[in-house]
Amino acid sequence: MNSDLLLIGRNTAVMIGGGLLLAMAAAALFAPWLFAGDPTALDPVARLRAPAAAQWFGTDMYGRDLYGRTVYGSRISLLVGLTVAAVSVAVGLSIGLVAGYVRWVDAVVMRVMDGIMAIPGILLAIAMIALAGSSLVTVVVAIAIPEVPRVVRLVRGVVLGIREEPYVEAAISVGTRLPHILIRHVLPNTVAPLIVQATYVCASAMILEAILSFLGAGVPPEIPSWGNIMAEGRTYFQIAPWIIFFPGLALALTVLGVNLLGDGLRDSLDPRITKRM
Amino acid sequence: MSAPANPEGDVPVLRIRELTVALPPGADRAHAVEDIDLDVHAGEILCVVGESGSGKSVTAQAVMGLLPRGQLRPVGGEILLQGEDLLAAPRARLRGLRGSRMAMIFQEPMTALNPVMSIGRQIAEALTAHIRLTPRARRARVLSLMESVRLAAPEHLYKAYPHQISGGQRQRVMIAMALALEPVLLIADEPTTALDVTTQARILALIREIQAARDTGVLFITHDFGVVAEIADRVAVMQSGRIVETGDAHQILSQPEHPYTRMLIGAVPSLAPAPRDTDDGAPVVLSTEGLSKTYSGHGLLRRQREVVAAKGVSIQVRRGQTLGIVGESGSGKSTVARCVMRLTDPTGGDISLGGSDFGRLGARALWAARKRVQIVFQDPYRSLNPRRTIGRSMTEGPINYGMARAEARARALELLALVGIERGAIDRYPHQFSGGQRQRICIARALALEPELLVADEPVSALDVSVQAQVLRLLDDVRRRYHLGMLFITHDLRVAAQVCDTVAVMLAGEIVEHGPVAEVFERPSHDYTRRLLAAAPGRAWNFGASGVRE
């Protein structure tokens, strides 16, 4: 394990991606210190101000400080990204392990997964939010559901490969029961690909959240999220482009960071690629 | 074997002088090959023999200019192909020489062929890389090459893809490609190791015939002294990167001088069955009656496809005795082992284990009965979970059946000592052991549950011949010590002759001959058994006088 950590540390993509992500996480965590005011406070006198020393990122059409809103918006993006990644990996892992190991479950579950994958994720999310009303929990669930089949497929693939390994058959022969086979012998092999998949899920969840907010189907408009800020700035795009620019930039940098981290981790954790280096 | 024809006087086709190839820093030794001298003359077959890691493949790669760049680097000596120094040649020149004047065939013909290109086009490519031909002339050349390697119906095979033909045919295609431009030197790196014994015999005969007809010099790399006896004019024995003995094949096989050569030749099991004192009154531990297994691909949208892997297999194993199942790949011998282990469920017939109806036990009863039969697999590198210490792998079984952790560990330590692994190794991981050691650990793990029956599925096929002898001795030892019944699956008749009391010969899922090993080997009644025995490489030599059971 130590050599794994060393390899990861030597990977530049991991360092840059991790650094970007860490910076965003710090912004989210220390938002009250980074911006002393209230990101929702209206100031009708200072509407649509361009970026300046007083308001670094300018103000929106209600005079709210965009720097503050963008900093606070990182909380929503990261929260949604990380929760969706955690939820979809947890659910997908459980389903994938069982599907890969129990033949008859496999046939049923995989057809259901195919079904979910056939529905465009964004439509599914909008439909769910239309049914359940807009809240952070609904958004997380709505984004997580279309990600689950991808995780299931990945885990199932790993399991199908591992279950044929002689050491798994040897474990069956010495009387190891199914739950232990899965936890001791199969699960550890899924960790590396899952970490990588989780970063991709995280990145796409953040984008999806922004899209949903932009469409007005995301988190409630009173909460500043990058998608919400951009949605509100849409009509003023030609006279106040900064309303869209700064949250957009923040979103792009965060997603880039997560993707770089994922690529780097994939290279470090995949033994076939590691051997070639 | 006749003395090498040597029309060009003393100038060999290939001359290697003081070749040294460096290993990257941190390897277990400084040089992959060190200071080796070799000559291959026109019209002769030089066999380079050695165990894994001896440097024989590195030698071949160095000649072809195929050493993995950045990892292995020639640091001294010279390689002369008809007088031209290959180590000094620029890469473009080497590329020109490869195929036209020297060619290579590999161990695994499936991976050496492009799966999405037809056979005919691949052979044609070997031609067009070096010479210009009209499409019509090219096709004619390819067809005549295919005929020269005895590929039946070349017109038909021309359009076939590698997966549609057999392993032996694929190796013939490889040979046709290698011979396309009539090279003066042919390098064969374990070309028959992945093939069945009957196919191997035919490919060896083909290489001999073609080499004699074209006066090609052949550098033949192998680990198998049986193959050496079949094909070699001269032999060079390699150990840890050095050549320890060179000489005429007949002389080396009959009067090896170097102790290492003597050890290697002595470790080859004899084809003559060892005398066994069998107790016909011992209780039967395993018997199957009409055991069958049909694999059927089924699914909602897929077509039904059935493969009969085993059909009507009836065998019996007594305690303290070994039943060997011999057969070629795809004969169903491993399927029988997996059914007996209940790793796969048979589709017909009965399996009785010590009197219980093992083949039909439900989940709970099956779990309780599993400890009575244990298995050792072929591949020691995949038989142990790489992420768990060997101690945890060995104690897993006893702990599953309720033994206290400390007690299980004490038992594991005892078993490690029994299989000849030092006790301190119990907390190490599998990658810290050699293949032979891992196989010993797997045997110890199987013994931890005190089984009545041990299934050994090709337990020594992945091991070097010297290690193979040790593992076979260990298996024989534990069989006697614990009065185990043993089901021994092997494709190697020599191994079967040494470890089995009775033997069953399988062909296409069925047992075609069954009886005491001496009877089957000395008076085979089925035509297929006779063919198998006739194909065993080196049967004319009485290897292993010192044998497995010293």
DSSP designation for A181: I
Task: Say if A52 falls within a structural domain.
Answer: no
Give the per-residue pLDDT at B298: 58
Contact call for residues B13 and B262 (beta carbons, < 8 A): no
Q: How far apart are CA A16 and CA B548, in angstroms?
A: 60
Asked if B367 lies within 8 A of A165 by C-beta distance, the reply is no
Task: Say if A61 falls within a structural domain.
Answer: no
Asked if A107 lies within 8 A of B299 by C-beta distance, the reply is yes
Contact residues on chain A for B341, CB-CB shorter than 8 A = 169, 173
Domain count, chain A: 1
Q: What angle do CA B168, B172, B175 make, to 5 degrees?
A: 140
Give the per-residue pLDDT at A1: 44
Contact call for residues B429 and B390 (beta carbons, < 8 A): yes
Residue B15's SS3 state is: strand
Q: What is the pLDDT of residues A103-152, one digit of tens each?
A: 888 889 999 999 998 988 888 888 888 898 888 899 899 999 999 999 99
End-to-end distance of chain B based on CA atoms, in angstroms?
A: 30
Helix H or strand E segment including B83:
none
Residue with the two structure tokens 């050493």 = B67
Helix H or strand E segment including B70:
none
- Rounded mean pLDDT of chain A? 85
* DSSP string for B111-147: HHS-TTS-HHHHHHHHHHTT----HHHHHHHHHHHHH
A21 lies in which domain range?
A: 2-32+66-276
Across the strands, what pairs with B16? B38, B79
Q: From its phi and psi, is residue B467 left (phi > 0), alpha (psi between -120 and 50) or beta?
A: alpha
Q: How far apart are CA B549 and CA A118, in angstroms?
A: 64
Give the per-residue pLDDT at B302: 57
Helix H or strand E segment including B171:
helix B167-179
Tell me the shortest Cα–Cα distance from B299 to chain A, in angstroms.
8
Residue B112, C-beta contacts closer than 8 angstroms, at least 6 positions apart: B105, B106, B174
Contact call for residues B383 and A170 (beta carbons, < 8 A): yes
Side-chain-facing half-sphere of B401: CA atoms under 13 Å: 23
- Could you tell me the pLDDT band of residue A216, with boundaries at 50, 70 and 90? confident
Contact call for residues B321 and B482 (beta carbons, < 8 A): no
Residue B46, C-beta contacts closer than 8 angstroms, at least 6 positions apart: B38, B39, B40, B217, B218, B219, B220, B232, B233, B234, B235, B236
Give the per-residue pLDDT at B1: 41
Q: How far apart are CA B501 and CA B499, in angstroms?
A: 7
Give the per-residue pLDDT at A4: 57
Contact residues on chain A for B393, CB-CB shorter than 8 A = 167, 170
pLDDT at A273 over 60: no
Q: From its phi and psi, is residue B252 left (phi > 0), alpha (psi between -120 and 50) or beta?
A: alpha
* Interstrand relation of B485-490 and B322-326 (parallel, antiparallel or unpaired): parallel
Amino acid B505 reads: V
Give the per-residue pLDDT at A225: 86
Task: Say if A56 falls within a structural domain.
Answer: no
Task: Say if A44 falls within a structural domain.
Answer: no
Contact call for residues B113 and B164 (beta carbons, < 8 A): no
Task: Using CA coordinates, name the residue in chain B closest to A165.
Answer: B382
Task: Say if A37 falls within a structural domain.
Answer: no
Residue B434, C-beta contacts closer than 8 angstroms, at least 6 positions apart: B467
Contact residues on chain B for A167, CB-CB shorter than 8 A = 382-386, 393
Give the per-residue pLDDT at A270: 63
Residue B453 near chain A (CB below 8 Å)? no
Give the per-residue pLDDT at B299: 56
Chains A, B: CB contacts under 8 A, how many? Answer: 63
Q: Is the four-CA dihedral B111, B115, B118, B124 of positive or negative sign?
A: negative
Exposed e or buried b for every residue in B265-303, given b needs 16+ CB within 10 A?
bbbbbbbbbbebeeeeeeeebbbbeebbbeeeeeeeeee
Tell me the shortest Cα–Cα distance from A189 to chain B, in angstroms.
9
Q: From its phi and psi, is residue B81 left (phi > 0), alpha (psi between -120 and 50) or beta?
A: beta
Task: Say if A198 falls within a structural domain.
Answer: yes
Report the CATH number at residue A199: 1.10.3720.10
Give the per-residue pLDDT at B512: 93
Q: Where do the DSSP E strands lie in B434-477?
A: 453-457
Residue B248, C-beta contacts closer than 8 angstroms, at least 6 positions apart: B3, B233, B234, B235
Contact residues on chain B for A170, CB-CB shorter than 8 A = 375, 377, 383-384, 393, 442, 445
Contact residues on chain A for B412, CB-CB shorter than 8 A = none
Nearest to B316 by CA among B514, B508, B482, B478: B514
Q: Is the four-CA dihedral B58, B63, B64, B70 of positive or negative sign?
A: positive
Taking CA atoms, A132 is separated from A116, A146, A208, A228, B240, in Å, by: 19, 17, 18, 19, 71
DSSP designation for B491: S
Q: What angle do CA A93, A97, A101 make, to 5 degrees?
A: 170
Give the per-residue pLDDT at A276: 41
Q: How far apart are CA B25 and CA B30, in angstroms?
A: 7
Task: Say if A22 falls within a structural domain.
Answer: yes
ipTM for the predicted complex comes to: 0.80
Taking CA atoms, B20 is separated from B17, B52, B95, B149, B498, in Å, by: 9, 18, 22, 35, 39
Amino acid B1 reads: M
For an interface test with B, the pick among A108, A173, A180 (most B C-beta atoms closer than 10 Å) comes out as A173
Q: What is the pLDDT of residues A186-206, one digit of tens each?
A: 988 888 889 889 988 998 998
Residue B359's SS3 state is: helix
* Interstrand relation of B453-457 and B373-376 (parallel, antiparallel or unpaired): parallel
Nearest to B488 by CA among B460, B520, B455: B455
The list of chain B residues with pLDDT below 50 reads: 1-8, 546-550
Asked if A174 lies within 8 A of B370 by C-beta distance, the reply is yes
Task: Say if A38 falls within a structural domain.
Answer: no
Q: How far apart are CA A157 and CA A107, in angstroms?
A: 14
Residue of B378, B396, B448 lying closest to A171 (CB–CB): B396
